[in-house]
């Protein structure tokens, strides 16, 4: 059987994220809770005007830390802007497709974080959102949601 804990928010500031820019979330620390897996719910909103182009999506990548201090390059474990390396050592991507501009908001559920790490959740992990919509994301914080929920197996 499996059980779930209550969802909680985690920090990633996506308001006004520029086109072709990326931002990492704060690291989720699983060293104490030791959940078997996590699911994520995201809500991402494009700008209020303009035209979506390029890939018309945001790519969601995953980063990890085995020792709790060193992270996959270029991540730091903080809610921060980053420049992605090419090629990247991050896992993913999970794709959030976007067909039109605001007021559309795009919600995406990522059912298994462990699947991006070969089935095992690392001690600390986080996400990176790479905006490939050809436009900045919406500038209002309330138009974004980031939830994480731990999952555990019981006998």
Whose tokens are 């903080």? That residue is: 78
CATH code for the domain of 149: 2.60.120
Measured between alpha carbons, how far is 82 from 63 in angstroms, rounded to an integer? Answer: 12
The domain tally of the chain equals 1
Record the pTM.
0.94
pLDDT at 52: 81
33-92 pLDDT per residue, tens: 999 999 999 999 988 667 788 899 999 999 999 999 999 999 999 999 999 999 999 999
3-state secondary structure of 129: strand
Measured between alpha carbons, how far is 52 from 135 in angstroms, rounded to an integer? Answer: 6
- Tokens for 55, please give them: 């890939």
pLDDT at 48: 67
- The domain containing residue 51 runs over which residues? 2-153
Q: What's the pLDDT band for 102 if we cut at 50, 70, 90? A: low
């Amino acid at each position: 059987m499996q059980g779930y804990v209550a969802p909680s928010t985690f920090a990633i500031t996506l308001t006004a994220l520029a086109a072709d820019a990326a931002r990492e979330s704060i690291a989720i620390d699983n060293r104490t809770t030791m959940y078997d897996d996590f699911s994520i719910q995201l809500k991402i909103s494009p700008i209020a005007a303009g035209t979506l182009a390029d890939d018309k999506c945001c790519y969601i990548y995953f980063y990890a830390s085995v020792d709790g201090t060193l992270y996959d390059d270029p991540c730091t474990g903080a809610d921060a802007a980053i420049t992605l390396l090419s090629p990247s050592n991050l896992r993913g991507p999970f794709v959030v497709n976007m067909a039109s501009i605001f007021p559309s908001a795009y919600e995406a559920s990522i059912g298994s974080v462990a699947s991006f790490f070969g089935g095992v959740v690392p001690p600390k992990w986080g996400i990176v959102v790479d905006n490939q919509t050809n436009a900045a994301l919406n500038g209002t914080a309330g138009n974004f949601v980031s939830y994480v929920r731990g999952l555990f197996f019981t006998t």
